[in-house]
Amino acid sequence: MFKVMVAAHGEEALVFLQDNPDIKLVLTDFYMPVIDGVELTREIRKSQTKNELSIIAMTSSNDEHISAKFLKIGANDFIHKPFTKEEIACRINNSLDSLEYIAKIKDMAHNDFLTGLSNRRSFFEAMEEYIKVAQSNSEAFAVAMIDIDNFKNINDSFGHGIGDFVLVELAKILKNNLKGNDIVARFGGEEFCVVLKNIEQKKALEYFLKLKGTISSMTIRHKDTKAFNITVSMGVAFSDTETLNEILKQADKALYTAKKNGKNRVEVG
């Protein structure tokens, strides 16, 4: 079912779009009062791309250049009047299907397929932007590399299906324990990364120690095996260095120390 909103002219349509950012498709005629379809399309494309909102333009004009003009300025599709109900329905469904397909591709490009967390690529993109803001505002933050202890033994003992289940359960804990705009990502394998924004070092360390305890007290329950517990090792670094790569190197070094010193530990780089 579609929820349809009818605007009297292009200017009113822009107000509808501003008040309803979840609108996914606009049907516009070329001939409209106040703002015609071409101007409406131009205005929409200043803020929303063809991959975010679909525009289907229509007209009864015989001017063959109008369709090309609409398509050049950002319309997704064009239809001449008169048209049948079946034709417009097909074009609407095709446009919405394309948006959904593009959204899925974006999700696959930025999110880890198993856990749904941000992937490594998305993490670096988000952090590049955040570090600029943090440095500009002299904002402190903390980064932790988190690795599941003895994960190979879990896969060998219970199978890779259970290993995947553990990764998903851990991802849920990490995500549910974040605040505000903090970042959590899966770096690959059994390794995750958590960034706490705008936080003092002492409070950040307290957070990670508490998180480690929460994880170790979690019981993994799956119908295909007996219940068991997991632990993680964490390497923490703070925003004392200039670049993200240097911070991550410090966190990795601290993670190695945590593993070396007996696992189920939090070490600071």
Q: Which two tokens stand for residue 204?
A: 């950040």
Residue type, 87: E
Q: Which two tokens stand for residue 53?
A: 């909102």
Residue with tokens 């696992």: 263
Q: Which two tokens stand for residue 167?
A: 């990764």
Report yes or no: 200 and 140 within 8 Å, Cβ to Cβ.
yes
Tell me how far apart the alpha carbons of residues 38 and 57 are, in angstroms, rounded to a whole number.
9
Could you give the CA distance from residue 108 to residue 110 in angstroms, rounded to a whole number?
A: 6
267 annotated active-site: no
Host H or E run for residue 38: helix 37-45
Look at residues 88, 31, 84 and name the one whose alpha carbon lies nearest to residue 61.
31
**Tokens 């300025």 sit at which residue?**
73
Residues sharing a CB contact under 8 Å with residue 78, sequence separation 6 or more, in sequence order: 56, 57, 58, 67, 70, 71
Lookup: tokens for 209: 């120690």
Q: How many CA atoms lie within 13 A of 87 on its CB side?
A: 10
Distance between CA 136 and CA 68 in Å, rounded?
45
Catalytic-labelled residue, pool 190, 191, 242, 246: 190
**Alpha carbon distance 261, 41 (integer Å):** 62
Spatial separation of the C-alpha atoms in residues 255 and 144, rounded to whole Å: 8
Q: Which positions are annotated as active-site residues?
A: 190
